């Protein structure tokens, strides 16, 4: 006699889990790219000092040129876990934070690519060790572009969480409650059938097949 297979989740629950997986992967990928970009060169800086001191060259990393990049990367990695653990309004709030972090990343990368970052600011001059230096910069486009891509992924992840996150399952739930309509009760278990002589006979043969002694 064939036995029924495991319960099949409804299509809505299956779609929700897939969307949740996509959102988590987008958050993790965006955060990882942002952290990678924050530690790499974003600009080659020439520090022009007063004569007779010669000019010196420095390299500014993403965390020096755009300090919020690393912070946004950490937030996105944390959100990849948080979006699984919470539900309802809390998940929507996380989605908004993810979208904002993605926007900051994208804006920082775009400003670096267009040469609009304030690399002559106090934070940058302090980073190269000179408070009153005149700087000329040559932007490095590779890692700002990575930050821009990370920002786009973060915005997409945040929008997906905000728009669809309320319907996704939470941690520790295999299926949504929609699998059992409200007010519906589970079918009562069938009472155990008394064991017959035929059942005992079949059990003895199965024991022999396994090499067990049925009289033990």
pLDDT tens, residue by residue, 133-166: 566 666 678 899 999 999 999 999 999 999 988 8
The pLDDT tens digits of the residues spanning 74-120 come to 999 999 999 998 888 999 999 999 999 999 999 999 988 887 776 65
User: How far is it, in rounded angstroms, from Cα 62 to Cα 109?
Assistant: 9
In this structure, of 52-61, 89-98, 154-163, 189-198, the range with the lowest mean pLDDT score is: 189-198
Residue 180 lies in a domain: no
Kindly state whether residue 144 falls inside one of the protein's structural domains. yes
Bridge partner residues of 61 (DSSP): 41
Q: Band the pLDDT of 214: cuts 50, 70, 90.
A: low
Classify residue 164: in a domain, yes or no. Answer: yes
Tokens found for residue 98: 């993810």
Under the banding of pLDDT at 50, 70 and 90, the label for residue 181 is: very low
Q: What is the pLDDT of residue 176?
A: 41
Question: What does the pLDDT average to over 173-193?
Answer: 49
Which residue range forms the structural domain that includes residue 171? 11-175
Residue 190 lies in a domain: no
Domain-embedded: residue 186: no
In a domain, 196, yes or no: no
pTM above 0.85, yes or no: no
Residue 25: inside a domain, yes or no?
A: yes
- Residue 211 pLDDT grade (very low, low, confident, very high; cuts 50, 70, 90): low
Provide the number of structural domains found in the chain.
1
Q: What are the Cα distances from residue 15, in Å, to 18, 46, 96, 157, 167?
A: 5, 53, 22, 16, 10
The reply to whether 1 falls in a domain is no
């Amino acid at each position: 006699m064939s036995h029924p297979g495991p319960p099949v989740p409804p299509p809505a629950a299956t779609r929700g889990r897939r969307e949740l997986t996509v959102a988590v992967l987008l958050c993790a990928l965006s955060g990882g790219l942002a952290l990678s970009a924050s530690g790499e060169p974003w600009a080659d800086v020439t520090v022009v000092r007063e004569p007779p001191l010669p000019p010196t060259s420095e390299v500014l990393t993403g965390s020096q040129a755009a300090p919020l990049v690393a912070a946004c990367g950490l937030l996105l990695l944390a959100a990849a876990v948080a979006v699984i653990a919470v539900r309802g309004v809390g998940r929507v709030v996380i989605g908004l934070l993810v979208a904002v972090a993605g926007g900051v990343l994208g804006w920082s990368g775009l400003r670096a690519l267009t040469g609009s970052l304030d690399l002559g600011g106090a934070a940058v001059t302090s980073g190269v060790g000179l408070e009153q230096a005149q700087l000329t910069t040559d932007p490095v486009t590779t890692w700002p572009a990575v930050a821009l891509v990370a920002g786009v992924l973060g915005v997409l992840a945040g929008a997906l969480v905000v728009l669809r996150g309320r319907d996704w399952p939470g941690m520790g739930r295999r299926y949504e409650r929609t699998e059992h309509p409200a007010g519906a009760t589970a079918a009562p278990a069938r009472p155990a059938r008394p064991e017959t002589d035929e059942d005992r006979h079949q059990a003895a043969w199965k024991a022999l097949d396994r090499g067990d002694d049925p009289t033990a």
